[in-house]
Structure 1
Amino acid sequence: MADKTEKATPKKVKEARDKGQVAKSMDLGGGAVLLAGTFALGTFGAAMTTGMMDFLTSGLTAGRDPDSLTETGLMHGIYEAAQVGLKAALPILMVTALTALVIMAAQVNLKITPHAIKPDFKRINPGSNAKQVFGMNALVELVKNLAKVGAVMAVVATILLPMKEDLGTLVGMTPRAFAGLLVEEIAKVAKAAAAAYFVIGIADFVWQKHRLDKSLKMDKQEIKDEYKQAELPAEVRGAIRRRQMMASRARMMAAVPDADVVVTNPTHYAVALKYSPELAAPEVVAKGMDLVAFKIREIAKESGVAVVPDPPLARALHASVEIGDHIPEELYEAVAQVLAFVYRTANQRAAAA
């Protein structure tokens, strides 16, 4: 197979975007939200302090009124406290929510596609939130998570530890002074954490963009074929596509004997996976539905390739991974379990032989 060294054409980039394949970083959104929250805290801090003071004062003085200790009085107190808390926090909540929407919309260029919003079967995979276990992606996730934890710990140690000398002065503070100090210290911690988190988010976005660009790269022949097809009549392009599909299906079936496992639905879907230490992650070498799935299973059994029924995983792989692509990070754990089962079974059979 030719090396994919050429930058993706606008047509391929558009097709990828139509499928919802865009570079986006949740950490960038989180850092932006935290930054917005700190600025909002500085802007609305005085009003928030007043609200917190009212909340603390009403709570501390409620016991003086006998009526407040009845069931009705307690419910009324809870209702008033909730109102005070919501009123104090609402501006900050609105700013952070709007920031989250703007950042996410900016990353995906406000494009919503049917492919992106259709039901995504991979989300029901039991390993979708587990740690990644393959290749460079696992290392990047580990470094990123360690950086976030380290940043938070450094912020807490730098800002809060010096406060231990002043703990004795908190006892004699008025509710207003205590609330003001609390808001001030929260703002300090949030600003420092936001700056670190935002930098990590930018680095993560750059990495995600690099990964996307790399996955969309084309070889020179693909680019030539694309330009040639763009110049041909529609009827000729259709005939070429049909021949290409037939040739592609033949190559796909020829790759099944080299697979490590075929994951099935067990009758409607079949996805053949191959993995080796040289690969960054397991690769889909064949997939299909109904009759094509039956043919894949048939070739696998004839070739001695393990066939493992796993309906949720089979549907997720079929819906989210193209032939020749690596599996997404969300499915690493589930696929790792299947491969471990296949390798373990093969070793047991070899030992018994």
Structure 2
Amino acid sequence: MADPDKTEAATPKRREEARRTGQVAKSTDLSGAVTLLAALFTIGITGHSMVDRLASGLSTSLLAGGHHDPVTRGTIGALLITNGKNVLLCLAPVVGVCAVTAIVVNLLQVGVRPKTKALKPNFRRLSPKSGIKRIVGREGLVELIKNLAKVTVITVAVLTALLPHLTEYAAMVGVSPLQLGSSIASLVRGIAIRATLAYLLIGVIDYIYQRRHHETGLKMSKQEVKDESKGQDLPAEVKGAIRRRQRDQARARMMADVPTADVIVTNPTHFSVALKYDGRSAAPTVIAKGQDLMALKIREIAADAEVPIVPDPPLARSLHDTVEVGQMIPEDLFHAVAQILAYVYRVAGRRRLA
């Protein structure tokens, strides 16, 4: 369902962000239909030469089989190579035209600017929950209707080409193989053209639907448009000042959390990472981290608050590089962090007893 608050057309910035993530209007049915039409067109042009080449190869094979020379691996291999070349030479124009057509049609739909971000793996797409929603939700219903429509339209196109000639073909018993082959080829060509044109019609309708669906998904609320215009109207100096203020505020909040940490893991001079574990979370959380001067400031605040400081250069570097402030530590660092926390709790317990 479309969000009722999103009534405004997408801004150029929003469209560019969507393109960057691979969100474009594209119809695979249209690409397939145009490619199939190009293949039929190519076969229509090169069909006679393909038949002549294959017939020549078959004739050569039959003549070779009629000789009295012994059949060996060499003679069989030579025949296979010759026939294989003939088949490849027959298919090459069709495959080449199909490949070029598919590339051109896709470029016309999505543009020529590559977006590397769309190629990055997105593990959310592997989520079973998301997959079930796509199958049983609105998208799944639309795909089901499209598939039923494709089958129905193509079936009707094939039947309209076949049924009027059933009596004619039934009366062809006893005709020569050449006449029968010509009639069958004409029938197949008519069926293929009708089915392809029907598929092309479906592809055009699907592309129109995809464009409308894409535009609906890009719509923005009035507040989003207003916020974006505010950000674009600000001078670069003001934007920089806002970002610096936001960084300073985030740094101040981070430093205020240092006294609540359970332990500070250090490099010991270049990196400092503050960890906290409340016993309810699945893993300890990084509440502050810093490098060089920031690391020194974290250690000074921790020392004033009597927070344990434990040197562990490899762990400090790993935590600093892989975990953001506010995030829990990854599973591969559980063991190392657990050992440090156990040591801190043990020392703190002894001091309390003393």
Alpha-carbon contact 1:54-1:84 (below 8 Å) kept: no
Q: Which structure 2 residues correspond to residues 66-145 of structure 1 after superposition, within 5 A?
A: 66-67=68-69, 69-121=71-123, 132-145=134-147
RMSD of Structure 2 on Structure 1 (CA): 3.6
Q: In the TM superposition, what is the alpha-carbon distance from 1:187 to its structure 2 partner?
A: 2.8
Q: Aligned residue for 2:170?
A: 165
Distance 1:47 1:151 in 2: 33
Sequence identity percentage: 37
Q: Aligned residue for 1:220?
A: 222
Distance 1:212 1:238 in 2: 33
Query: 3-state SS of the aligned residue for 2:135?
Result: coil
Query: Structure 1 238/140 Cα, relative in aligned 2: closer, same or farther at 3 Å?
Result: farther
Alpha-carbon displacement from aligned partner over 1:16-64 (angstroms, at most 9, x marks no partner): 1122211111111000001111111222122122123224434444431
**Unaligned 5+ runs, structure 1:** 247-265, 269-288, 296-353
Distance 2:233 2:141 in 1: 44
Q: In the TM superposition, what is the alpha-carbon distance from 1:115 to its structure 2 partner?
A: 0.6
Greater RCO between the two (CA within 8 Å, min separation 6)? 1
Alpha-carbon contact 1:25-1:205 (below 8 Å) kept: yes
Q: Which structure 2 residues correspond to residues 165-314 of structure 1 after superposition, within 5 A?
A: 165=170, 168-169=173-174, 172-174=176-178, 183-237=185-239, 292=326, 294=328
Residue 18 of structure 2 aligns with an amino acid whose one-letter code is A
Residue 88 of structure 1 aligns with an amino acid whose one-letter code is C
Distance 1:126 1:169 in 2: 59
Query: Structure 1 205/87 Cα, relative in aligned 2: closer, same or farther at 3 Å?
Result: same
Query: Structure 1 68/62 Cα, relative in aligned 2: closer, same or farther at 3 Å?
Result: farther
Number of residue pairs matched? Answer: 253
Alpha-carbon contact 1:33-1:99 (below 8 Å) kept: yes
Distance 1:169 1:122 in 2: 63
Alpha-carbon contact 1:45-1:183 (below 8 Å) kept: no
Distance 2:234 2:11 in 1: 18
> Which structure would you say has the larger Rg?
2
**Unaligned 5+ runs, structure 2:** 251-281, 285-322, 330-354
Alpha-carbon contact 2:157-2:195 (below 8 Å) kept: yes
Distance 2:234 2:23 in 1: 28
Alpha-carbon contact 2:34-2:101 (below 8 Å) kept: yes
Distance 1:70 1:113 in 2: 55
Distance 1:79 1:107 in 2: 41
Alpha-carbon displacement from aligned partner over 1:75-103 (angstroms, at most 9, x marks no partner): 11111111111222221221111110100
Alpha-carbon displacement from aligned partner over 1:212-234 (angstroms, at most 9, x marks no partner): 11111101111111111111133
Q: Which structure 2 residues correspond to residues 141-160 of structure 1 after superposition, within 5 A?
A: 141-160=143-162
TM-score by length of 2: 0.60
Query: Structure 1 237/50 Cα, relative in aligned 2: closer, same or farther at 3 Å?
Result: same
Distance 2:171 2:113 in 1: 52
Query: Structure 1 61/267 Cα, relative in aligned 2: closer, same or farther at 3 Å?
Result: farther
TM-score by length of 1: 0.61
Query: 3-state SS of the aligned residue for 2:177?
Result: coil
Query: Structure 1 220/93 Cα, relative in aligned 2: closer, same or farther at 3 Å?
Result: same
Query: Structure 1 128/5 Cα, relative in aligned 2: closer, same or farther at 3 Å?
Result: closer
Residue 136 of structure 1 aligns with an amino acid whose one-letter code is R
Distance 1:16 1:143 in 2: 27
Query: Structure 1 5/220 Cα, relative in aligned 2: closer, same or farther at 3 Å?
Result: same
Query: Structure 1 169/220 Cα, relative in aligned 2: closer, same or farther at 3 Å?
Result: farther
Q: Which structure 2 residues correspond to residues 306-325 of structure 1 after superposition, within 5 A?
A: none
Alpha-carbon contact 2:125-2:131 (below 8 Å) kept: no
Alpha-carbon contact 1:41-1:187 (below 8 Å) kept: no
Residue 70 of structure 1 aligns with an amino acid whose one-letter code is T
Q: Which structure 2 residues correspond to residues 6-25 of structure 1 after superposition, within 5 A?
A: 6-25=8-27
Of the candidates 20, 39, 42, which is equivalent to residue 41 of structure 2? 39
Query: Structure 1 291/211 Cα, relative in aligned 2: closer, same or farther at 3 Å?
Result: farther
Query: Structure 1 4/267 Cα, relative in aligned 2: closer, same or farther at 3 Å?
Result: farther
Query: 3-state SS of the aligned residue for 1:23?
Result: coil
Query: Structure 1 73/183 Cα, relative in aligned 2: closer, same or farther at 3 Å?
Result: farther
Alpha-carbon displacement from aligned partner over 1:103-134 (angstroms, at most 9, x marks no partner): 01111111102212334446767899999423
Residue 83 of structure 1 aligns with an amino acid whose one-letter code is K
Alpha-carbon contact 1:41-1:92 (below 8 Å) kept: yes
Distance 2:70 2:214 in 1: 61
